[in-house]
Amino acid sequence: MKKEITIAVFSTSFFLSSIAWGAAIGTYPKSLHELDVSNQHSLSISPSQSNDSLTDELQIGNKDLYGSLPGIHKGPLTSNELVRVFGITVPKVDFKVRYTEESTRVVEGVVCVEGAFTSYDGVDIPYYQLLPVDFRPETRDYSVVILYSGHGNMDQIAFDHESYQKGLGLTLAQHGFMVFTMENRGMGKLTNLGDHNRLDAIARLTGGSWYGEITSDALYLLQMVTQHSYVSKRVGAGGVSTGGALSLLVGAINRRVIASYVQGYLGSYRTTFGTHSSHDLCNNISGILNHFDMSDVATMIFPRHVMFVNGEYDTFSADDARKAFRQIQTRYSQGGYPSRTQFRVPKNTGHEISTDIALKFFMETLKE
């Protein structure tokens, strides 16, 4: 059964034919006329976005805090600068994201709806919606957690308890949360787009990045989620590795996220992805250190809740994370909300999500 939710019909067959065409000629199926290439760091402007909406609606309020940030950036880092460096496309606040619900199944007592939403460039992004066990849309609204997947596929963060993403979605749904997750480009159901590092290389030709593309998708998913009448204003975001990065970036850009859980990612763009050189090259955003470091991005979440977790044996160094967190903690303390940011280093934990810590965090911040 396929239920059409969109305000206009998007042709799946057209999308598939575009993919086939791209595979045939060896190019990524994105229309170059949709990109602004006049400046290496310019935004990708789509019909759903304008620069004005970024400043008016999404600039995060660090202006009331002290002088300069303790990271690289001097002065308050804004959403405008962040989206330019990564190459992110942000939907207007009132833009309606098109999506379809395609199938339903039950996993460990949790109803899972599988569908796809149309992102900024016309690509259909698969998603899962896990319904809370007490789901009654006509009688109440629900706290939502959007779980962004790390490298791998979205089934890992949604269902797979044996993976490093631990099927956190099922756990949260079983505790009364509405959960959404999406596939990352070049992975899982989107491997037909090509390897993610190849997508990153192509995006760099117009001043973008693979992270910019999937962060755009993540923001469109958030936009779609908030279109549901049964979704409350209590929205959280979480993930590990790339999922942690997306939770950090989405939380920094969009104030509708009131609680961000970032595991296996916090550190420094200079050391974690530079001098240590132990991570995927997709993390190396062109020119980023000319603008800001990771702690600068994290302080944009102020004064909302954020938790950072790096396991004792995580390849994302806990020492790097501690140094970054001291800068973040300083900002929250200066602003009068020291308890709204936390950092944990769980023992005997590697590059994996900590289900118990994540569950406790969302219970305390979204159901308070």
The predicted structure's pLDDT at residue 251: 98
What pairs with residue 193 in β-bridges?
Answer: none
Rounded to whole angstroms, the Cα distance separating 65 from 303 reads 11
The predicted structure's pLDDT at residue 324: 96
Contact between 113 and 131 (Cβ < 8 Å): yes
Range of the domain at 244: 3-366
What is the SS3 assignment for 149? Answer: coil
Domain total of the chain: 1
Residue type, 266: L
The predicted structure's pLDDT at residue 1: 47
The predicted structure's pLDDT at residue 233: 86
- Residue 76 is part of a domain; what is its CATH number? 3.40.50.1820
The predicted structure's pLDDT at residue 176: 94
The predicted structure's pLDDT at residue 277: 63
Q: Which positions of the chain have pLDDT values less than 70?
A: 1-72, 74-75, 277, 368
51 CB-side CA count, 13 A: 9
Rounded to whole angstroms, the Cα distance separating 329 from 29 reads 42
* Length of the chain measured in residues: 368
Chain segment 276-325, per-residue pLDDT in tens: 767 788 999 999 999 999 999 999 999 999 999 999 999 999 999 999 99
Chain segment 74-127, per-residue pLDDT in tens: 667 889 999 999 999 999 999 999 999 999 999 999 999 999 999 999 999 999
Rounded to whole angstroms, the Cα distance separating 108 from 126 reads 21
Cα 198 → chain centroid:
20
Tokens at 41, concatenated: 């760091």
Rounded to whole angstroms, the Cα distance separating 198 from 210 reads 9
The predicted structure's pLDDT at residue 172: 98
